Amino acid sequence: MKNRKPKLFSYVVDHDLGSAPNPEGEYCTLVHCKFEGTSGRRNIVELASKGDWVIGTGGLGKDSAGHGRIIYLMRVSRKLSFKKYLSAPRFEGRRDCKDFGEGNKFALVSKRYFYFGKNAVAFSALPKHLAVKLAKKGPSFRSDYPPEKLRELVRWFQKNYELGVHGDPCGVKRGTIKVRRRPCGG
């Protein structure tokens, strides 16, 4: 598995309320979303590995950024069992560090992320060739973005944005999440 190329998992963030994804503190986490739940179908949280990337794009709901916009992009730094996530002191107090009995098995944790929320980046801001096959419409996810383009996409974000939070979640009141930016090497 050492030579495995990172994948990009793309999905629609139907409602961005600051909990899935959760860009609180120094981490962006994906918990309580994109897991198999009762459907039995494996999804992003089960399939993604350390080093993979997850991109959440806007949906049509009132608590989302709208189609054709990027809400966040994160690199999976760690994949923890849900039980380990719940018991880790560094995640205590986060709004997603709760057991709702939904069948979560894993938590994806990122220290390298770009979270835009209400300030979502329009696909039209990207070089055209990077926007092709980036979005997933409707339920489920896609993971067929070419690895060469993924490296270029990440470089584009690093060149144009600092790591961290660039806006509040789409469906919450202003100022709920402190805007934090870190140098790209962080």
DSSP secondary structure letter of residue 22: B
What is the per-residue pLDDT for 176? Answer: 55
Q: Among residues 75, 71, 97, which one has the least CA distance to residue 11?
A: 71
DSSP secondary structure letter of residue 20: S
What is the per-residue pLDDT for 103? Answer: 78
What is the per-residue pLDDT for 90? Answer: 93
Non-local CB neighbours of 157 within 8 Å, separated by 6+ positions: 73, 114
What is the per-residue pLDDT for 180? Answer: 52
pLDDT per residue rounded down to tens, the chain (186 residues): 467 899 999 999 988 988 889 998 899 999 987 666 555 677 899 999 999 999 999 998 888 898 999 999 999 999 999 999 999 999 999 989 988 887 788 999 999 999 999 999 999 999 999 999 898 877 789 999 999 999 999 999 999 999 999 999 998 765 555 555 444 443
Domains of the chain, by residue range, sit at 8-182
- Across the strands, what pairs with 165? 115
